[in-house]
Every structure is written in C-alpha cells, then in structure tokens.
Homo-oligomer: A and B are copies of this chain.
Amino acid sequence: MKTETSIQGLSASLAPARSARKTIGFVPTMGNLHEGHMQLVREARRICDVVVVSVFVNPIQFGPNEDFASYPRTLEQDSHLLAENGCDILFSPSVEQMYGKQPRLTNIAVNLLTEGLCGAQRPGHFDGVAVVVTKLFNMVQPTYAFFGQKDYQQLAVIQQLVQDLNIPVEVRGVPIVRAEDGLALSSRNGYLTPEQRQIAPKIYASLLAAQQQLKQSESLTIVLEKLRKSLTDAGFVIDYAEARSPQLQTVTAFDQDIVLFVAAKLGNTRLIDNLQIRYTD
C-alpha cells in the first residue's frame, strides 16, 4: 500500500491505473477506522481494480461547538488496518493541502434533503460534506465510491449531488455494521464511558421494537412516541427520532417503505442510527 499526502502524489500514484483504464474504488473517511469502514474497503476491493481510501478530518463539516479538535486521529493504526484489508493507496492530506492558502469562495448546498434530521442540529454540516466530497471526487476521479448507510442522510445528499452535477462516479451505499450487541459502529463510540457503552445498544433495540410494533399495526405516531420514551428512559437526550421515506420525505403513516432515524446523546457523545422498514401489505 502506498501512502500519499499531496494531491500531486495521489495523481502520480493513480496515473498508471488511469492509463490502463482500470476501475478505481474510493472510500472517503475521517479516519479512526473500524469494521464499518473495513466493510466499505472490502466492498471496494471486491468490485474494483484499484482501491483508494482517504483519511481526512474535514474542518468545514464541523460546527463551532463540535468535536473537530478532539476528533480521534489514529493514522498509524488506520494505515495498518487498510493495508490488511486490501487498500492500494491511502490518501491522507493536510488541511492546507486540501484547502490551499487562498480563501475558499465556493459553496455547494444540497437543498431539501439537508433540512431536518442532522441538518437541523448541524447547520452548514452537509455543505461542508458536499464540498469536500466533490473535491475528493475530482482528485481521485473514482469509478465507484462507497459510503456507509449509517450516515443515511449523508448518503442521500451525495447521491443527489452526483446526480445534479453529473459527477462521473457511481455511488454505492453499504449496510450498517453493528457490534454484537447491536450498536452501530462509529468512531464516536470511543468517546463513551463503560457505563454509556452499556446503554448505547438501546438505540438499535428501540428501533427493532418500533419495527415490530409497526408490523403489528400500531400507528406510526404512537410508535414514535414509544421510541422516544424508551430512549429518554434509558438516559438518552434525543436530538430527533423520526420517520421519513427512503428519499427523506416526511411521512405520517406506515403506508409505504420508511426509514426510522435516531440521533441521541449520552453525555456529550452524539450517536446516530437508522432502520429501513419495508412496507408489504
């Protein structure tokens, strides 16, 4: 595995693959990699000739009161994991390499999809994601790009961005990877105290309970109320617990496929999860 820290180095490393018209698979990450990321890397490895993974903690997608400074940076460990899982090129640029010395004047907004859910609590977050992903796509010029479904709204935003701007990449969503107790894997899980880590799986347990209630024809409104109560009772402070259509439109009843979304805090740690629920008469 090669490691590149400059855009020029990345281009040079990719030149032979491009000349040979090989397929390039790309997994953008913020590092502190876990099995969820490795699932993306293995999926890229399975489909593509060349696998590129970026590790970049993107400052412009963090709000002023968020955890940019303290976000875990574990490049050495990430590098070992990536090499073991079939990554060919690790791209880990500095902030200056990514954003240059001149001020950035260009912004990208993906409207509607970024309203509500994480967009409500994190103003500007998805603009920052859209900008950095567009930049990385232009640097790597991948054939396929892989994103986890845990960040469902992010995946929807990127799919819309790619469609609206005709970005020549095929975006693939990869199912959530969970710990044995059901907790969705996330770099932020590392912030949890042992006690909080015991409580955290209740998000997924509550989502499964909600699914069962819906399948037993309880009304969506009541199911969401119960979902919120079970989370609050477990000690979470809820950001949101909502149902949307797979395209993120608001829904008022379980009369179509839906996705249940939760964002909730344990102490200072904000966890998110979601569950896709099929509607079948």
**B-contacting residues of A (Cβ < 8 Å)?**
7, 19, 21, 100, 102, 104-113, 130-131, 134-135, 138-139, 141, 160-161, 163-168
Contact = CB atoms under 8 A, between A and B. Distances in A.
Contact of A110 (B19, B106, B131, B166): B106
Given A165-B135, A166-B139, A107 B108 contact: yes
A113 B105 contact: yes
A166 B108 contact: no
Nearest to A130: B106
A166 B135 contact: yes
A102 B139 CA distance: 28
Give the number of copies in the complex.
Answer: 2
Contacts of A168: 138, 141
A21 B100 CA distance: 29
Given A138-B168, A167-B138, A111 B107 contact: yes
A167 to B, nearest CB: 5
Residue among A19, A111, A130, A166 with most chain B CB within 10 A: A166
Given A105-B111, A131-B165, 20 more contacts: A7-B166, A100-B163, A104-B164, A105-B113, A106-B108, A106-B109, A106-B110, A106-B111, A106-B165, A107-B108, A107-B109, A108-B108, A108-B165, A109-B109, A134-B165, A135-B164, A135-B166, A138-B167, A138-B168, A141-B168
Contacts of A141: 168
A134 B167 CA distance: 9
Contacts of A102: 163
Contact of A106 (B19, B100, B139, B160): B160
A165 B100 CA distance: 11
Nearest to A169: B138
A114 B128 CA distance: 20
Contacts of A100: 163
A260 B157 CA distance: 41
Nearest to A107: B109
